[in-house]
Amino acid sequence: MPNILVTGANGQLGSELHALSNSYPQHTFTFADRNTLDLGNLCKLEDYFDNNTFDTIINCAAYTAVDRAESDEELANTINHRAVSLLAKIAKKKNISFIHVSTDYVFNGQNYRPYIETDPSSPQGVYGRTKCDGENAILSVAPKNTIIIRTSWVYSSFGANFVKTMLRLGRERDSLGVIFDQVGTPTYARDLAQMILEILPKIKNESPEIYHYSNEGAASWYDFAKAIFELSGITCQVSPITTDQYPTPATRPHYSLLNKAKIKNEFGITIPYWRDSLRECLKELGEKL
């Protein structure tokens, strides 16, 4: 019975994997949160794997506070890059399959078509740069049976995210301004978790492969907010604003659509449309649709 370690167990993706784990009795799962396995503490990382045996690592742990990373680069680099490099070395040494979750922020957002896996990376901030460095570390170490999954705009019924923020603000305020000139695809973490568990037995490669996964379709943050309010029956008025009107410490990609053809073709999966998945998440949150 394969023994699977999920890091970042209390995050959105880790929580969704936990919720789905009972449907996969053929696997044994270990869910490690920051208290059990702190990727910020590299000294204890190898000790953990010397004392525990796993067949697969699903690395959901990351420093994801995009704006805070601009002033906390050392910790972001430790978690997103150095710890990932060490995990890759451990996976190679102990022959452990390795699934690492990355981000659309490795791109600069200036493309004119959905990004494919071989497009050159050009991150614009600390978060994207440290995640990109983590990817490159995996490719350099080159453990077998390893994949990198880039995703975007993740939300869930677990944790803090855009959907929950909009639900709260939409009920507190009569009107909101939401950015319309950043385009990507909202991704329901449950869909991402389900896909990972489905393809897990099929991962057999001599060197690491990169794949893109998000829900289908495209939206701006404005479109996303409008859909949340529409489906939830919230009457808050949403106005489109530009990125310049809502300055942040970190630069966001203006365009970060991901082409999913590779993962769909190689693993034979279908991917839900983002509005359909949003509806499912809102049901999980107890919204009366």
* Candidate list 63, 105, 115, 127, residue with the active-site label: 127
CA atoms within 13 A on the CB side of 23: 9
Considering only CA atoms, give the Rg of the chain.
19
**Alpha carbon distances (Å) from 262 to 42, 115, 205:** 33, 11, 15
How is residue 15 written in tokens?
Answer: 């929580």
Does residue 288 sit in helix, strand or coil?
A: coil
- Sign of the C-alpha dihedral, residues 110, 181, 70, 228? negative
Q: Which of 278, 268, 101 is closest to 193 using CA atoms? A: 101
Q: Is there a contact between 159 and 12 (Cβ–Cβ < 8 Å)?
A: yes
User: Cβ atoms within 10 A of the Cβ of 37, count?
Assistant: 22
Q: Are strands 219-220 and 183-184 parallel, antiparallel or unpaired?
A: antiparallel
**Alpha carbon distances (Å) from 258 to 185, 211, 289:** 8, 10, 29
Q: Is there a contact between 1 and 28 (Cβ–Cβ < 8 Å)?
A: yes
Cβ contacts of 255 within 8 Å, gap of 6 or more: 109, 110, 111, 112, 182, 183, 184
Annotation marks residue 127 as catalytic? yes
Cβ contacts of 37 within 8 Å, gap of 6 or more: 7, 44, 45, 48, 61
User: Mind telling me the catalytic residues?
Assistant: 127
